Amino acid sequence: MKILEVLTYYRPWVSGLTIYVERLSKALVNQGHDVTVLTSRYDSQLPRYDVLDGVKVVRVPVALRISKGVLMPGFGPMAWKLAQRADVIHLHLPQFDAPGVALRGRIMGKPVILTYHCDLQLPQGFFNSLIDRFVLVQNRLAGKLADVIVTYTRDYGSNSPFLSQYIDKKLQIVPPPVTLDACSDEEIERFRIQYKLEGRRVIGISARLASEKGVEVLLKALPSILEEVPDALVLHAGPYEDIIGEESYARRLAPLFKQYNDQYKLLGTLHGEELSAFYENLDVLCICSLNSTESFGLVQIEAMRNGVPVAACNLPGVRQPVTMTGMGEVTSVGDHRALAHALIKILRNKEQYTRDSQLIAASFDPSQTAATYVSLFRALQQGTLDPAAVEPYAYVRLGIMRDQMGR
């Protein structure tokens, strides 16, 4: 099957959305499908045509940048060309160009699937509010033109103003793909030595430095945590320099990072075995996002599959990994006192949050996600898709595991 994946940013850009599409695309290629990613050439140093792990990547030059969005005059013609060759078109929202691509799919009679990853909520301001409204209109147009709309959890779908209108109509629930490279004992120990973790209780956060991630909530929680757990240390994995649209946010947090230089370490982007070693050395992972731009938090599953419990904020979708597995605590959004309490509780009682990490890993394996999408694609081609969303069996299994553990 020839599959066209369409999104604004792709690798090497780091975000949950780009990682999701990368994992899905690689899994589809491994299952014998022909996958092309159509995206922006957000960095002029990137090649226009590329092949990454068997995935063909076509990057369209950017003429103008509006906040985190991009304008690409060549995008429409390239989308038309690639859509003609594809058997199915898979769009990833939010993105400006989704309605035009979806319309091309309709004209050509190609199945159009839309995966809605999160709401777009830019920082406050008149100009950003105009962009938010424009994107909302674009989302609605793309939703009307799509044959199927996919999201990660029914919880997020029911609470999203955009997705809730499609419940029991064209909404489908597909668990996201999560995987990590294997990691040797030597790499785990090297990581521990490099960051001087001996005798420390390690709190992890894995996110780019962006305002919606709520990093300041964890920074404000640190004094209370250190009072109860003096040896606590935060390791922050993820890009923190030159993040498009987040320059003022980085400047605002810089004094706090300096203040807690000995207790809060910015590691930058981690890849491969080093990222796995990061999780292996954690005692707890923190998710402190502030709004519905976070719809799940793939990093929670990355942590859980390594036996690491999570303190997650009480956002729709984000609370689901902890709720489904019982492997952590859910805290009020933006409440640094509640976050401190949850982290201290987990650090003192980590063994109470132990769950079957192999079951968690299997439930979110990229091959499972890819197979589910292929079933959707083929059902659309054959006209046999049931429009009513069904809770994925992987989620049912996790609920059974949670109940058996008495939570």
Q: What is the biggest distance separating any 2 CA atoms in the chain, rounded to whole angstroms?
A: 63
pLDDT tier, 401 (very low <50, low <70, confident <90, very high otherwise): low
Would 2-177+365-395 and 185-359 be classified into the same CATH topology? yes
Model pLDDT, residue 129: 66
Sheet of 2-6, strand order: 49-52, 55-61, 34-41, 2-6, 88-93, 112-116, 148-151, 171-173
**Domains of the chain, residue spans:** 2-177+365-395, 185-359
Dihedral, 162, 166, 167, 168 alpha carbons, nearest 10:
180
Model pLDDT, residue 398: 77
- For the chain, the average pLDDT equals 90
* Mean pLDDT within 25-32: 98
Backbone conformation region of residue 317, classed left if phi is above 0, alpha if psi is from -120 to 50, else beta: left
Task: Show Cβ contacts of residue 211 under 8 Å, excluding neighbours closer than 6 positions.
Answer: 123, 246, 249, 290
| CATH class of the domain defined by 185-359 | alpha beta
Nearest to 370 by CA among 20, 7, 9: 20
* Mean pLDDT within 27-44: 96
Q: What angle do CA 254, 308, 19 make, to 5 degrees?
A: 65
Residue 122 has pLDDT above 60, yes or no: no
Q: Which CATH number fits domain 2-177+365-395: 3.10.20.590, 3.30.230.10, 3.20.20.70, 3.40.50.2000?
A: 3.40.50.2000
* Mean pLDDT within 40-56: 95
Residue linked to tokens 């910015």: 266
Q: What is the pLDDT of residues 305-316, one digit of tens each?
A: 999 999 999 999
Is the separation of the CB atoms in 204 and 286 below 8 Å? yes
pLDDT tier, 70 (very low <50, low <70, confident <90, very high otherwise): confident
Give the integer Cα–Cα distance in Å for 150 and 157: 9
Residue 106 has pLDDT above 70, yes or no: yes
Nearest to 318 by CA among 336, 298, 295: 295
3 state SS for 131-142: HHHHHHHHHHHH
Q: Please tell me the least confidently modeled range out of 110-124, 158-172, 285-299, 325-339.
A: 110-124
Q: What is the rounded end-to-end Cα distance, in angstroms, of the chain?
A: 43
Task: Show Cβ contacts of residue 160 under 8 Å, excluding neighbours closer than 6 positions.
Answer: 116, 119, 151, 292, 295, 316
Give the pair of three-digit tokens for residue 308. 């690491």
